[in-house]
């Protein structure tokens, strides 16, 4: 629009028709009202006074706008094709086109997804972080049907009092300090160093254990269900089960898929990572990543660990998320969130900028996981936001 203030008036007119507003040069941004200094009788006419409140670009972006932004930057042909289709259409036709787009994006693949969730923890944090999880998002009464939760630790070190005791005694102690009532939720991984850092072998061992658990369900004809998805998550993350299941309903589990927050490594490490085998983004830890059963089943993690441990690029590769991501790509061709709607969802969120509260209330519902919450107070604070959201009138 040309002319001072004209874009706001145009925006107001279009909003009154309930159309999507997409910027030509900033397609990832959406509009939200904000106050301006408007004076009737001078610059602002009566009929446009309300419009003078104005619009601004909001950093979270609209779902459609963020999708177009991603296509514009990464798939220009698809972006140009979409824009050409609506370029000469009337407003009503454009609105219809948007509805059709959203319906396609929200196709339901499975009404009741089944998920095995594995939380990687340590003996040092079991009585604090795991306890916080049990008191908030993993309260037994809040775990949905079709979701199974397991907590993983390594074996006790030699100087630990439980080194010479039985697994049963060890698990009983861990259950007591964490408040876990069902001891089957605790898995002690034999031969895995509990305080390994970076926890490459520990995290890959957990995924192997999760794979074995699913395999046991699949081979048991009396098992009530099996699992379509495996979710690896850290013990300082907050998981929103409703958001997780809602997200997975629109995802095809019968394929090689990994979903999480994309990572490419530190800028100074990227050349070494590329030389070491990184082709596409991997999923970062923290808020974790959800893998289809088929992906986990076909990936030989131990083989990759042994290979990367001997690699000349070990210094760049030797981080659990990097190893797991490259390994998955090597055996299945899948990388982190291969679909082109990553920017429109951002369902796995790491608090890079130390925001408080973390993520806007309007985005809580669709978020699968947020991270990090290092202490009980911060975990409880995030939980209270979800409780308030659930109890508020819709």
Rounded CA-CA distance 246/110 in Å is 10
pLDDT band, very low/low/confident/very high, at 242 (cuts 50, 70, 90): very high
Half-sphere exposure of 200 (CA within 13 A, CB side): 22
**Closest by CA position to 236, among listed 191, 286, 278:** 286
- List pLDDT tens digits, range 169-181: 999 999 999 999 9
What residues does each domain of the chain span? 6-105, 115-391
Q: What CATH fold (topology level) applies to the domain 115-391?
A: Spore Coat Polysaccharide Biosynthesis Protein SpsA; Chain A (3.90.550)
Full DSSP string of 230-258? EEEEETT-EE-HHHHHHHHHTS--SS--E
pLDDT band, very low/low/confident/very high, at 394 (cuts 50, 70, 90): low
The model carries a pTM of 0.74
Confidence check: pLDDT of 96 > 80: no
- List pLDDT tens digits, range 27-69: 555 444 443 344 444 444 444 444 444 433 333 344 556 566 6
* pLDDT value, residue 21: 53
Detail the DSSP E strand segments found in the chain.
Answer: 30-33, 55-58, 115-120, 147-155, 186-193, 229-234, 238-239, 258-259, 262-263, 282-283, 289-292, 348-350, 369-371
- List pLDDT tens digits, range 208-236: 999 999 999 999 988 878 999 999 999 99
Lowest mean pLDDT among 10-24, 92-106, 339-353, 372-386: 92-106
* pLDDT value, residue 354: 87
């Amino acid at each position: 629009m040309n002319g001072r203030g004209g874009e706001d008036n145009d925006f107001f007119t279009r909003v009154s028709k309930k159309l999507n507003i997409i910027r030509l040069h900033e397609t990832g941004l959406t509009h939200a009202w904000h106050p301006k200094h408007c004076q009737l009788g001078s610059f602002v006419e009566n009929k446009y006074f309300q419009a003078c409140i104005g619009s601004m670009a909001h950093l979270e972006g609209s779902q459609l706008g963020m999708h177009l932004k991603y296509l514009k930057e990464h798939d220009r042909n698809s972006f140009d094709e979409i824009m050409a289709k609506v370029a000469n259409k009337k407003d009503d036709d454009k609105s219809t086109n948007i509805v059709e787009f959203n319906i396609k994006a929200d196709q339901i693949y499975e009404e009741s997804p089944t998920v095995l969730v594995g939380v990687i923890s340590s003996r040092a944090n079991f009585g604090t972080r795991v306890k916080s999880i049990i008191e908030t998002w993993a309260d037994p009464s809040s775990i949905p049907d079709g979701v199974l939760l397991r907590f993983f630790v390594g074996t006790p070190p030699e100087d630990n009092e439980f080194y010479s005791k039985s697994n049963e005694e060890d698990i009983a102690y861990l259950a007591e300090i964490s408040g876990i009532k069902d001891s089957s939720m605790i898995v002690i991984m034999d031969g895995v160093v509990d305080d390994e850092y970076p926890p490459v072998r520990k995290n890959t061992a957990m995924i192997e254990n999760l794979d074995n658990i699913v395999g046991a369900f699949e081979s048991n004809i009396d098992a009530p269900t099996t699992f379509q998805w495996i979710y690896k998550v850290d013990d300082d993350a907050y998981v929103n089960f409703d958001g997780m299941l809602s997200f997975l309903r629109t995802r095809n589990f019968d394929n090689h898929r990994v979903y999480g927050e994309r990572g490419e490594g530190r800028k100074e490490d990227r050349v070494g990572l590329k030389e070491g085998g990184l082709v596409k983004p991997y999923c970062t830890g923290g808020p974790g990543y959800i893998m289809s059963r088929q992906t986990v089943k076909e990936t030989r993690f131990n083989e990759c660990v042994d290979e990367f441990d001997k690699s000349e690029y070990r210094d760049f590769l030797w981080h659990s998320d990097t190893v797991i991501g490259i390994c998955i790509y090597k055996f299945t061709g899948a990388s982190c969130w291969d679909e082109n709607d990553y920017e429109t969802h951002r369902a796995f969120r790491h608090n890079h900028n130390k925001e408080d509260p973390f993520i806007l209330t309007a985005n809580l519902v669709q978020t699968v996981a947020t991270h990090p919450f290092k202490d009980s107070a911060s975990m409880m604070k995030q939980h209270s936001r979800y409780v308030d959201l659930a109890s508020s009138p819709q």
